[in-house]
Amino acid sequence: MREIALAFLALIFTTGSLSAQALGTKPDEQTVKDAYIYLLGRALTIRQEHMDRGGQGFSYNAIKYNPLGSADFVNPNFDVAYLEAWVAVDENTPAILEVPEVRGRYYTAQILDEWGEVVANINERIFPSKPFGKFALLKPGSHADIPADASPIYLHSSKAKLLGRVERKGDDEGAVRLQKQFKLSSAGTPRIADPPAIPTFNNETLIGVEIFDDLDGKLSSALDVSPNAASMQQKARAVAAYAGSSPDARAAIDAQIKKIVPDFRVYAVTQSAPTREHWTGGMSAGNYGANFWLRTSVNYAGIWANSIDEVTYFVASSDSEGQPLNGSNSYVIHFPAENLPDKVVGAYWSVILVSVPDYRVVPNSLNRFNFNNHSPLQKEADGSLKIGLGAKQTEGVPESNWLPAPEGKPFSLTFRTYVPKDIVRRGQWQPAAVTMVK
């Protein structure tokens, strides 16, 4: 009996999972799919932290003031003076954020957690009682002393991502001056854990079964505020246990992931939100509730999305006939005079052209990557607006209204409406269809 018990214990310690190895429990396909997509959302933010840490001069609690027009990230925003930082705190050490007073142009200090959920936006809309000034960013449960003039904001874990945006609005000098007035510092020397180890991967070759390695390390590194986090994490543990039970089981899970990835890519760009006129979007991003599929889709195609009160996103990867957008063709987006995007935003709109599947800007001879309501666009005689897309200037569209696309390669469009009006938030407006010129 003693020998049997010892063998039993050895089995547990060797495999790390009694249920997977001893009972041969193989998770069903839906469990594997859900667990993978759920974890991929976190893997994408971990990847981003590793990438940011590799940048020149990186340190936590230090703002990187991106040069105007900087494009070295997914779905960049050329409409604003942009700043970013990784915040790191511990129980006794908060970070201090200072937001300047900004008048007459869009701005926000957006704080997100390590899963891509918005914690706060500091601006006159979301923080009307204190739209600027000093704020103390605290770890949950912290009772650290903070400056008397600092308002506390409790994070979801010991790290957060800070993104600041100041609208350029045709005044680059003023935007940069305000950008540099955002300040971030630590109130001491916090303990800062390295992000979980993760293999290098990109959007074209997404991570495989390795995502389930050191699962508890990934899950314990950052609290997930999703209401179904506990159940999804249990699914992930079941898959991790089975994948760790034998080489054959690991290979089987990896093979299944390879089948999941193509379906996820399609879902992310065409099915993750309502689609009208072949634009997918109008959904509530930034805070996702139980919809981890949407959260992972957003982290994949445009990490660090903001909440719907700040911006509504629309993505198009196909034309009005459902064919994939390709730079070999010419396209037109024609907004009727009564449906111009200027009329549905409280701040501004913009559209950017990016490559697929990495969602980065496409170099071109004009050094032109986006349009917004401050661009020198020419309207038609009837007050309508045409935007041309393609490797060559679109016939019938002024050169000033042409966004160059990569010759012979697929591309995608991201349309942003900043401070969208009710018609957008209710899902009753979307950009005009992308129509191929034949």
Give the model confidence (pLDDT) of 216-233 as tens digits: 999 999 999 999 999 999
CATH of domain 64-186: 2.60.40.1610
Return the DSSP state at 41. Answer: H
CATH of domain 272-436: 2.60.120.600
**Mean pLDDT calculated for residue range 246-253:** 97
pLDDT at residue 181 greater than cutoff 90:
yes
Of residues 14 and 220, more confidently modeled = 220
Where do the structural domains in the chain lie, given as residue ranges? 21-48+196-269, 64-186, 272-436
| Same fold: 64-186 with 272-436 | no
Task: Spell out the residues 6+ positions from residue 260 whose beta carbon is closer than 8 angstroms to its own.
Answer: 32, 33, 36, 37
pLDDT tier at 345 (50, 70, 90 boundaries)? very high
What is the pTM (predicted TM-score) of this model?
0.85
pLDDT tier at 363 (50, 70, 90 boundaries)? confident
Residue whose entry in the numeric block shows the structure tokens 């308002």: 151
Quote the strand ranges of 213-368, DSSP E. Answer: 275-276, 279-281, 311-316, 331-335, 349-355
pLDDT in tens, 391-417: 999 999 999 999 999 999 999 999 999
- C-alpha pair distances (Å), 258 with each of 36, 209, 266: 11, 9, 14
Contact 310, 418 (CB under 8 A): yes
